């Protein structure tokens, strides 16, 4: 076994620790992505177990396991599967492998290092729900993941795990690999479906376009995340009770998280869901090992770039949505970005806001216009030409996207009480609110840094607009 707290040379970015390893157990092997290694390490046994049961029994096993979606929403996978209307065929499985949230890179490792585990999970899901075809949608920039999955699919077809009459049963399914074009918005499930159909990736209105009812090609469609599906082989091989024995009753199993920023050992970790705290992760000796140069923690983003920020006051919160939500944020994509005391907070917020403004598909006016204006105003503040009026304007613009109280963390030193997650929004998807989230968090928790940037500048009666070359 790999030494704890040490990166694996052939699995760059992954850090092994004391956590039970459900989805990363094969990362220790240099040939983890091959079918030979997969079969030697109990690969496709979960599929064999599933095929020995009825589809309803397999569905029930996953539902009993309380497997929460690992893509962001955290909705139970087994419950989601049950939303397909009865008697409507064909049905499709779409795998969301377009991992593009800032700070998130865990799914990429799963696709690169253990593609057969993902494929087996897809097959189990298809069998349980009666899905006739699976589409693996992989982000365009992930060349290694695309290559490894393509190789694994060819191997699985040749071995009889995919195709007609799988393993001598009446179960048949095809799996199609589809490359994305690098658009963040297609991480939203309906935009992903639009892209799969050959259209520009833009979210659909819900209702009526709930994928489970009206999805790909107008048919019932289940959209699942890569990590979610990668848990299925283990659950079918070991049972739902064994899965629930890890973690908590409401958040069982393990979870992969990606930590970046000002920590001594950034990387991807598999942690116990529901019990591991942010302090355990950031300061644990077999995990991140503390802040680099032993500096003080200033803030951290707990769930990807779109999540409201936390400070040291929230370090002892566990990875448990039911506790993180009331404290003003979300677990989201499982990306933790750590900022130490040297961080220029307004500049950090601008970096994230710029990304989301750029990635707007333009369908919703509050997102298309609001994100752009947030970026323009933030640029003025950061470069020292902003005014106090600009700080008020940031909130005004943000409220056109997310009216009402926007979630934020509590802070004893500043006398702040938490505003719980989620937020209200005027857009179809989350891109617009994501542009406002870092601005609101930074302004709420570190307003003094913004005031210092605009100190001495006179309010103007016009608005500066910068057009990027």
Q: Are residues 40 and 108 in the same domain?
A: yes
pLDDT of 2 higher than 90 = no
pLDDT at position 90 is 96
Q: Are residues 305 and 396 in the same domain?
A: no
pLDDT of 136 higher than 70 = yes
- Secondary structure (DSSP) of 114-130: -HHHHHHHHHHHHHHHT
Encode pLDDT of 264-304 as tens digits: 999 999 999 999 999 999 999 999 999 999 999 999 999 99
Does residue 469 fall inside a structural domain?
no
Query: In the listed set 305, 322, 340, which residue is the last one of a domain according to the structure?
Result: 340
Query: In the listed set 289, 322, 340, which residue is the last one of a domain according to the structure?
Result: 340
Q: Are residues 235 and 355 in the same domain?
A: no
Summarize the confidence of residues 359-367 as an average pLDDT.
Answer: 97
The CATH code of the domain that includes 189 is 3.40.50.11540
pLDDT at position 224 is 97
Q: Are 17 and 287 in contact (CB under 8 A)?
A: yes
Burial of 78 (0-12, 13-18, 19+ CB in 10 A): buried
Q: Are residues 179 and 222 in the same domain?
A: yes
Does residue 305 fall inside a structural domain?
yes
Does residue 391 fall inside a structural domain?
yes
- 431-445 and 447-454 helices, crossing angle to 10°: 80
Q: Are residues 166 and 109 in the same domain?
A: yes
Query: In the listed set 218, 244, 270, which residue is the last one of a domain according to the structure?
Result: 244
Does residue 12 fall inside a structural domain?
no
Conformation bin of residue 456: beta by default, left when phi > 0, alpha when psi is -120 to 50: left
Does residue 466 fall inside a structural domain?
no
Q: Are residues 100 and 211 in the same domain?
A: yes
Burial of 258 (0-12, 13-18, 19+ CB in 10 A): buried
Q: Are residues 128 and 178 in the same domain?
A: yes
**β-strands 267-272, 254-261: how paired?**
antiparallel
**β-strands 221-225, 7-8: how paired?**
unpaired
* Mean pLDDT (the chain, rounded): 95
Separation of alpha carbons 271 and 17, rounded Å: 8
pLDDT of 258 higher than 80 = yes
Q: Are residues 262 and 208 in the same domain?
A: no
Does residue 294 fall inside a structural domain?
yes
Q: Are residues 159 and 290 in the same domain?
A: no
Q: How confident is the model at residue 463 (pLDDT cuts 50, 70, 90)?
A: low
Summarize the confidence of residues 449-467 as an average pLDDT.
Answer: 82
Does residue 467 fall inside a structural domain?
no
The CATH code of the domain that includes 286 is 3.10.20.600
Encode pLDDT of 97-128 as tens digits: 999 999 999 999 999 999 999 999 999 999 99
Separation of alpha carbons 362 and 368, rounded Å: 5
Encode pLDDT of 13-50 as tens digits: 999 988 899 999 999 999 999 999 999 999 999 999 99
The CATH code of the domain that includes 380 is 1.20.1440.230
pLDDT at position 73 is 78
Percent of the chain predicted with pLDDT > 70: 97
Q: Which two tokens stand for residue 257?
A: 């998280």
Does residue 4 fall inside a structural domain?
no
pLDDT of 305 higher than 50 = yes
Encode pLDDT of 398-444 as tens digits: 999 999 999 999 999 999 999 999 999 999 999 999 999 999 999 99
Q: Is the model's pTM score more than 0.85?
A: yes
Q: Are residues 222 and 268 in the same domain?
A: no
pLDDT of 3 higher than 60 = no
Q: Are residues 309 and 394 in the same domain?
A: no
Query: Of 173-177, 240-244, 332-336, which range is least confident?
Result: 332-336
Q: Are residues 377 and 420 in the same domain?
A: yes
pLDDT of 74 higher than 90 = no
pLDDT at position 1 is 46
| Residues spanned by the domain of 92 | 21-244
- Count the domains in the chain: 3
């Amino acid at each position: 076994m790999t030494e704890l707290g040490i990166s694996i040379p052939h699995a760059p970015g992954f850090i092994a620790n004391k956590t039970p390893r459900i989805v990363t157990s094969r990362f220790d092997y240099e040939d983890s992505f091959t079918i030979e290694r997969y079969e030697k390490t109990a690969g496709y046994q979960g599929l064999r177990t599933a095929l020995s049961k009825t589809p309803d029994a397999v569905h029930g096993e996953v539902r009993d396991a309380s497997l929460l979606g690992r893509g962001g929403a955290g909705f139970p996978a087994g419950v989601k599967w049950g939303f397909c209307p009865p008697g409507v065929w064909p049905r499709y499985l779409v795998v969301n492998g377009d991992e593009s949230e800032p700070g998130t890179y865990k799914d990429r490792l799963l696709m690169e290092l253990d593609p057969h585990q993902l494929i087996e999970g897809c097959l189990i899901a298809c069998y349980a729900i009666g899905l006739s075809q699976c589409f693996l949608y992989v982000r365009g920039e992930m060349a290694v993941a695309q290559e490894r999955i393509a190789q694994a699919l060819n191997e699985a077809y040749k071995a009889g795990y995919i195709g007609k009459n799988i393993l001598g049963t009446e179960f048949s399914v095809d799996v199609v690999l589809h490359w994305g074009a690098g658009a963040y918005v297609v991480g939203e499930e309906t935009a992903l479906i639009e892209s799969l159909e050959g259209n520009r990736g833009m979210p659909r209105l819900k209702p009526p376009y709930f994928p489970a009812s009206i999805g790909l090609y107008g048919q019932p469609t289940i959209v699942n995340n890569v990590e979610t599906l990668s848990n299925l082989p283990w659950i079918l091989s070991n049972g739902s009770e064994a899965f629930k024995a890890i973690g908590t009753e409401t958040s069982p199993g393990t979870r992969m998280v990606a930590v970046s920023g000002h920590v001594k050992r950034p990387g991807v970790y598999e942690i116990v869901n529901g019990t591991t705290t942010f302090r355990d992760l950031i300061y644990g000796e077999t995990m991140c090992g503390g802040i680099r140069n032993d500096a003080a923690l200033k803030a951290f983003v707990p769930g990807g770039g779109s999540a409201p920020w936390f400070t040291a006051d929230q370090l002892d919160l566990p990875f448990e949505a039911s506790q993180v939500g009331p404290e003003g944020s979300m677990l989201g994509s499982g990306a933790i970005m750590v900022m130490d005391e040297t961080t220029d907070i307004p500049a950090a917020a601008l970096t994230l806001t710029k990304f989301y403004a750029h990635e707007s598909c333009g369908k919703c006016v509050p997102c298309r216009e609001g994100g752009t204006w947030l970026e323009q105003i933030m640029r003025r503040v950061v470069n020292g030409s902003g005014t106090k009026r600009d700080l008020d304007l940031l909130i005004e613009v943000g409220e056109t996207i997310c009216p009402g109280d926007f979630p934020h963390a509590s802070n004893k030193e500043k006398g702040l009480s938490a505003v719980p997650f989620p937020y209200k929004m005027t857009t179809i998807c989350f891109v617009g609110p994501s542009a406002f989230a870092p601005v609101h968090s930074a302004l709420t928790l570190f307003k003094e840094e913004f005031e210092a940037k605009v100190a001495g500048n006179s309010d103007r009666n016009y608005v500066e607009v910068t057009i990027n070359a």
